[in-house]
Chain A
Amino acid sequence: MERTVWPSAGIGGIVRKFLVSLFGVVAIFIPVASHAQVTAKDIQVAARVLNFTATPFTGTVKLGIVYDPSVAASAADEQALTGLLGSGLTVGSINLVAVPVPIGKLSSTPVDVLFLTSGLGAAGAAVGTQAASAKTLCITTDLSATQAGNCAVSVQSDPKVQITVNKATASASGVSFASAFLMMVTEI
């Protein structure tokens, strides 16, 4: 399980270290969940996130699925997502339309939202750069990409829904969210 490293400072830091240590010891004895692949439920959650941007998305939304054909995990994600979206997936007031975007053609393919497939590693930095320059929201199921600042939002739906927002990356992408939404997600 991923754990964030927290800086310490003063009494708050000592208290935090104590609590983290205390609960960390107990956590050793409890099994952790394994990482899940992108699923239909993931894409449903990702679509719902679009309702909570400062200007909520409505109507047809072109979802740019950024992938690297030479990376198996990324290509598999692209195939799975394209299949899930088909000719268009309606979630609430949004109709998501898949636009496959090979990472080499990132800057030349206009889309409304970027979806970063898993397995791109350091190459995903290009997506962060593109999202910032085009002021475009990026969503992924790869938590490490959000932690690395390559994508603003990470969603996971199994075994339960968890949404992580990289505040700096979202800000650089010109994206802000409703306060109620931010109260319910993990911000980093």
Chain B
Amino acid sequence: MTLKQRLGLASATVLCMALAHQARAQNVDYGALEQMFGQPVTTSATGSPQLASQAPADMQIITADDIRRSGATDIPGVLKFTAGIDVRTYGTQDSEVAIGGFSQVYNPRLLVLVNGRQVYNDSYGFTVWNALPVQLSDIRQIEVVQGPASALFGFNAASGVINIITYDPLTDKTDTLNVGIGSDGTYLGSLVATAQKAGKAGVTVQLGGIRANEYSGDSLPALNAPYQGNADNENYAIDGRAKPSAHTEITLEVTHSDSSESSQSIIYIPTSYRFRTQSFKAGFSADTAWGLFNVLGYLNKDQGTSSLPLGGTVDQSSWNQVGVVQANDLFKIGTENAFRIGVEYRTNREWDPADFNGSSDYQDYAISGMWNWQITPQLSLTNAGRIDRLVVHRTSPVVPGTPYTQADYARTQLTAPSFNVGLVWEPTSNDTFRALVGRGVQAPSQDELGLDVAHPVGGGITQITAGNPFLQPSVTVNYEIDYDRVLAPIESTLSTAFYYSTVQDLLTASSVLPGTFTYPYYVQEAQNIGNGQVYGTKLVLKGSDASGVRWNIGYTLTAVRAHLNIAGPPTTPYDFNNATPSSAIVFGIGDSWNKFEVDLQGKWQSRYTDVSAAIGGGGLIYEPKVISNFVTIDARVAYNVTPHLVLAVSGSQLQSSQTIVSAGPEVDRRVLFTGTYNF
């Protein structure tokens, strides 16, 4: 740590102490606010607590009830029945999740967080869903934001954000033991236990794991041998929060996960993948005379190891470490204007003696602000902005044959502004209109900026795979009009969204595109590959009645028009115009009566084109694979034996014994029996 950084840390500490002295009330209490307003509360739109229905964002909240009733065993299993979310399944525990088009493996355009901590991995810019250290039974809600949100969350919230919010050990007491056994060798278990002195201190310990056979994949060629054996994960998290005074709060969290799965690699070759994570988080908040002040710091340490069947097994490992310190203050001036100001420092290091010839480091410095103007009680205008300054510090020498010099890498600097503007108008208690404009930024991943690896391939030829220090960040600008209407006669809410997005400077990883050959080097590198537009519509009707019956139906239209400066398949894997289903319908119905809880959820999606890769012609050949339209139906039946004990049976992909949903193996129908004890 430099002297400047030490001084900054010391100043922040002194400021925290000063603010704590003047503090006067509590932090955001999701549970109490939700109980008071009768609907979910979120901070994912502006950083300020808001009713989800009034937030200046296209937002959907998946509640704890929704999660339980889904019968899903992982988060993509919950998300796949949410309108506007495209989930591709490649393995028992491997899924890709995309919002707003440009679906692809290792999707880098969606930011995923757990309680505000990034769980998105910067190595390639993707999320390993199997490695998230969170139990479904400890999730209060999943907040899904469609559209750019970089003005609040920074890089990679380009097409959307998924923020997973767990229960608060200070105010929520979650004590649950869940065990399950199912078809195809499925075993799972989780424990969530909370010790608390209500309102003073609380600790939640959660641990769990799952093990299941990979899908059988009868149609896959021998190349896809990694799709054999088991997928599993084990993880734990300890979340402690305390109130040293009635007005201040401290958060400490430690997490760990270890997962193994068969997955689709970034070059569309199946791989056996092991991913291990650790994280440490500390936070302090105080409600002061100057507003609600928060400071948060966390450290993520991820290690990924893949085994690729490229004419023999090629093992690759890489380590990524992200450290983040962020501080913000949320305050009101007068009665109509709320503001948030924030600063963030982020350090990111990727190292692998093979792939990075040492390490690649960058630092990001950001300032952000938000202004919410309550123009009238029915009309509000929110403006949020952020500027990121990313500076690469690479000290490792480049390998011979790399087209860039060490100085090229060292002087890489990116300045990226982002913003969100939202006008929300509620002319009546039943109607809400939103007009939204947002600019989101996807930063190049560590692979795209700093990878530098040499592989001898025989004949005196060396293959060079290099990050590109001259890449531009990819920028998404989204224009959207939303209208929500409460339909009291049918006890439902209709939500509609119409959007148009432009995407500039799409990014691709260093190892995906074909290279150039200048003896003795064959050089592949990351590139900006072009631009695109997305036109989309989302219509959702959701309701329930007092008797316990609930229903939902949603339609999503997504039309992508990409203008790439590279060829499509078989030369590259990119066929964005056809990579996202143009239409999808989700539907669900459920009922709770006496001791039973019964739910059925389904999804139909139109055909799309996925890609699988094969070795041939001296390199990779990307073969388009048209995935015909298909239906997915999941269901769950639960019986409350006692107020504490619930037995349930759930099934996934019930419509068919095997369904082709991607270029990966067919997804098998599976049945799971679970027992849940709430103590």
Contact = CB atoms under 8 A, between A and B. Distances in A.
Interface of A: 1, 3-4, 6, 16, 19-20, 23, 26-27, 30-33, 45, 48-49, 51-56, 92-93, 157, 159-161, 163, 167, 176-184, 186-188
A184 B50 contact: yes
A56 to B, nearest CB: 8
B29 interface: yes
Contacts of A20: 375-376, 379
Nearest to B48: A183
Contact of A183 (B37, B39, B330): B330
B475 to A, nearest CB: 28
Interface string B328-339: 001110011010
Nearest to B430: A159
A20 B331 CA distance: 25
Contacts of A182: 332
Interface string B42-70: 00000011110000000000000000000
Contacts of B33: 180-181, 184
Contact of A180 (B28, B376, B377, B431): B28
Contacts of A33: 428-430
Contact of A176 (B24, B335, B486, B488): B24
A95 to B, nearest CB: 16
A30 B26 contact: no
B25 A184 contact: no
Given A1-B428, A159-B429, A179-B291, 13 more contacts: A3-B376, A4-B376, A23-B378, A23-B427, A48-B32, A52-B36, A93-B198, A180-B25, A180-B28, A180-B292, A181-B33, A184-B41, A187-B332
Given A19-B379, A48-B35, A161-B37, A178 B25 contact: yes
B425 interface: yes
A159 B486 contact: yes
Interface in B305-339: 330-332, 335-336, 338
B338 A184 contact: no
Given A161-B38, A183-B50, A184-B41, A16 B32 contact: no
Interface string B1-43: 0000000000000000000000011111100110111110100
Contacts of B544: none
A167 B335 contact: yes
Q: Which 6 A-B pairs have the closest CB atoms?
A: A178-B25, A187-B335, A48-B36, A179-B292, A27-B427, A159-B429
Contacts of A27: 378, 427-428
A142 to B, nearest CB: 16
A76 B488 CA distance: 28
28 contacts: A3-B377, A6-B375, A6-B376, A19-B379, A19-B381, A23-B379, A27-B428, A30-B427, A30-B431, A31-B428, A48-B32, A51-B32, A52-B25, A53-B25, A55-B246, A159-B429, A159-B486, A159-B488, A161-B36, A161-B37, A177-B25, A178-B26, A179-B291, A180-B26, A182-B332, A183-B332, A184-B33, A184-B50
B53 to A, nearest CB: 8
A180 B29 contact: yes
A180 B429 contact: no
B659 interface: no
B465 to A, nearest CB: 49
Contacts of A93: 198
B27 A180 contact: yes
B35 A180 contact: no
A83 to B, nearest CB: 22
B287 interface: yes
A178 B428 contact: no
A19 B287 contact: no
Nearest to B27: A180
B265 interface: no
A53 B39 CA distance: 21
A164 to B, nearest CB: 8
B552 interface: no
A6 B246 CA distance: 37
A187 B378 CA distance: 13
B278 interface: no
Nearest to B288: A179
B428 A23 contact: no
A184 B330 CA distance: 12
Contacts of A163: 36
Nearest to B35: A48
B412 interface: no
A19 B375 contact: yes
Nearest to B290: A179
Nearest to B51: A184
B374 interface: yes
Given A161-B37, A184-B51, A179 B379 contact: no
A177 B29 CA distance: 13
Contacts of A30: 427-428, 431
Nearest to A6: B376
Nearest to B53: A160
Greatest chain B CB density within 10 A among A30, A45, A157, A182 is at A182
Nearest to A184: B49
Contacts of B430: 33, 159
A26 B483 CA distance: 14
Interface string B272-310: 000000000000000100011000000000000000000
A188 B28 contact: no
Contacts of B287: 178-180
A92 B50 contact: no
Contacts of B377: 3-4, 186
A112 B346 CA distance: 49
A176 B25 contact: yes
B427 A160 contact: no
A31 B27 CA distance: 37
Contacts of B38: 157, 160-161
Contacts of B425: 23
A51 B36 CA distance: 10
Contacts of A183: 48-50, 292, 330, 332, 338
Interface string B145-173: 00000000000000000000000000000
Interface in B617-644: none
B36 A45 contact: yes
A182 B32 CA distance: 14
Contacts of A186: 374, 377
Contacts of A23: 376, 378-379, 425, 427
